[in-house]
A = this chain, B = another copy of it.
Amino acid sequence: MTQRDELLTGQDVRLACRRGEFAAQTSGLAAGFAQANLVVLPKDVAYDFLLFCRRNPKPCPLLDVTEAGSPVPVQAAADADLRTDAPRYCVWEHGELVDEPTDIAGRWRDDFVSFVIGCSFTFEAALLRAGVPVRHIEQGVNVPMYRTNIECQPAGMFRGPLVVSMRPLKPADAIRAVQITSRYPAVHGAPVHLGSPEQIGIADLSRPDFGDAVEIRDGEIPVFWACGVTPQAVAMATKSPLMITHSPGCMFVTDLRDETLAVE
C-alpha cells in the first residue's frame, strides 16, 4: 500500500498534511469527500471578500467562513486546522506570489478570516459516475485553467477576471455534463461557456494560465466552468496587501460528503 492509498478520508489527508507527510496534489484522494479552495484574509477586508463571493457565486461558492482568528472551519471540518491541513499554500503580497509554504502557522494572525470555497472535484466524481469522461483525470494531470475576458462583479477592492477550468467533451456528454453539474451549485454548478474559446478571451487552449494542457480529440468541444482559482487571479489583479490561498490542485479536504452538496 502506498502512502496515497492510505489517505481514504478527509481527516486522513488533513492529518498527513499536518504531520508534514503530504504536500502534493489531492485529486483522487479521499474519494467522496468534498475538496475545497481556500482564501485567508485579514478581517478588515473580509466583508468586501464575502460580498465578492455573494456577487460571484459561480467561481466562489462558499462552503464555510471561519470566525476571525479561528483556524477551524466548523461547518466543513470541525476538527481541522486551516493553518496546517492543506498540502501547500500560496502567500500573495500586493499581487505577488511571495511564498509557497506547506503550512502557515508561523504567519497566522488573530484577525485572519478563512473562506472555504467549493471545488470542481466534487462534480467530477459525479461526471465519472455517469460515464462522462474527464480528460485531465484520464491523463493524470491537473485540470487546465484559463483567465477569461469576463470580469467578476467587483466588491470593494476585490476585482479581477473570471478564471475557468476546461474539460473537452463530445456534444452529447457536454449536454449531460450541463445536467449533472447543474445539481451542484455549491461547487461551481453548470458551465459558464462551451465551444469557441475566443468568445471568452482565451487565445490558445494549449497554453493554460494554471494547471496543465489536455488533449482535445476530434468531435469534442471545450466546456468551461467557473473555477475556484479565480480568487488567486483576484489577488494578482487587486494587489491586496496580503492574501493566502491554497496552491492550485493542492486542496483542503473537508468532512463534507460530495453528495450532500447536490440539490434535489
Q: Are B191 and A175 in contact (CB under 8 A)?
A: yes
Chain B residues near A264 (CB, 8 Å)? Answer: 264
Q: How many copies of this chain does one complex carry? A: 2
Cα distance, A199 to B191, chains bound together (Å): 22
The total of chain A residues at the interface (CB under 8 A) is 18
Cα distance, A172 to B190, chains bound together (Å): 10
| Chain B CB within 10 Å, residue with most, of A171, A196, A221 | A171
- Residue from the list B175, B182, B199 in contact with A171, Cβ < 8 A: B199
Q: Are A219 and B192 in contact (CB under 8 A)?
A: no
A195 within 8 A of B: yes
A242 within 8 A of B: no
Chain B residues near A190 (CB, 8 Å)? Answer: 175, 178-179
A contacts, CB < 8 Å to B: 171-172, 174-175, 178-179, 182, 190-196, 199, 219, 221, 264
27 CB contacts below 8 A, A to B, read A171-B193, A171-B194, A171-B195, A171-B196, A171-B199, A172-B192, A172-B193, A175-B178, A175-B190, A175-B191, A175-B192, A175-B194, A178-B178, A178-B179, A178-B182, A178-B190, A179-B179, A179-B182, A179-B190, A182-B182, A194-B194, A194-B221, A195-B195, A195-B221, A196-B219, A199-B219, A264-B264
